[in-house]
Chains A and B, each alone.
Chain A
Amino acid sequence: DTAVSQTPKYLVTQMGNDKSIKCEQNLGHDTMYWYKQDSKKFLKIMFSYNNKELIINETVPNRFSPKSPDKAHLNLHINSLELGDSAVYFCASSQAGTGINEQYFGPGTRLTVT
């Protein structure tokens, strides 16, 4: 039943490690997003893929690398984790184009870097 799912839900790791977060949507959407919610609860776009092609790449350190193996999946890999990467990462999806384009969000992955 889950429309947009993310794994893991919680991730605790040490500085310098490399980690990945996975996202899957079963809505048949063609566009997927990664957003970051910082400690002040402010949500900001990081990346977006449309039909497996990168269409949005905000000012994000190149330690962050998204990968979209197919339209239903968008993974986020983070190299050399830093304390400031601690945040909640949300995946979202929508059907782009001239339609309603409502975005649906996953439950979030809380990343804690120690």
Chain B
Amino acid sequence: KQEVTQIPAALSVPEGENLVLNCSFTDSAIYNLQWFRQDPGKGLTSLLLIQSSQREQTSGRLNASLDKSSGRSTLYIAASQPGDSATYLCAVRDYNDYKLSFGAGTTVTVRA
């Protein structure tokens, strides 16, 4: 059974600092990995999707890396802004499955 862990559970940084969010998973036979953002009381917004054959994906200030063999992914957010404050969720789709297995999330607060 796939287990997804996100560390740290919460993070508070001053505006302008770079953010590093970690995700680890127990079964390396994954199909893809998605990073989501969830604002309080809102739905999930997909930020980046990394296929199992890829090492990283980039979108604007966001960069996600994937090391499948070690079961790790990292989401980097450059030059953080107060608008980046949200909960970030990592989710893994296993190779022979359709569902996503989620981590518990990292709640980020960017202080102005």
A contact set with B: CB distance below 8 Å: 31, 33, 35, 40-45, 48, 50, 55-56, 58, 90, 92, 94, 96, 100-108, 110
Contact = CB atoms under 8 A, between A and B. Distances in A.
B93 interface: yes
Given A45-B100, A100-B51, 11 more contacts: A31-B98, A33-B98, A42-B102, A43-B102, A56-B98, A92-B100, A96-B98, A102-B32, A103-B93, A107-B43, A108-B42
A100 B31 CA distance: 9
Interface in B60-112: 87, 89, 91, 93, 97-102, 104-105
Interface in B13-47: 31-32, 34, 36, 41-46
A61 to B, nearest CB: 18
Interface of B: 31-32, 34, 36, 41-46, 49, 51, 87, 89, 91, 93, 97-102, 104-105
23 contacts: A41-B105, A43-B100, A44-B102, A45-B99, A45-B101, A48-B98, A55-B98, A56-B97, A92-B100, A100-B49, A100-B51, A101-B31, A102-B32, A102-B34, A103-B34, A103-B91, A104-B46, A105-B43, A105-B44, A105-B46, A107-B42, A107-B43, A108-B42
Contacts, number: 59
Contacts of A35: 100
A90 B98 contact: no
Nearest to A100: B49
Contacts of B102: 42-44
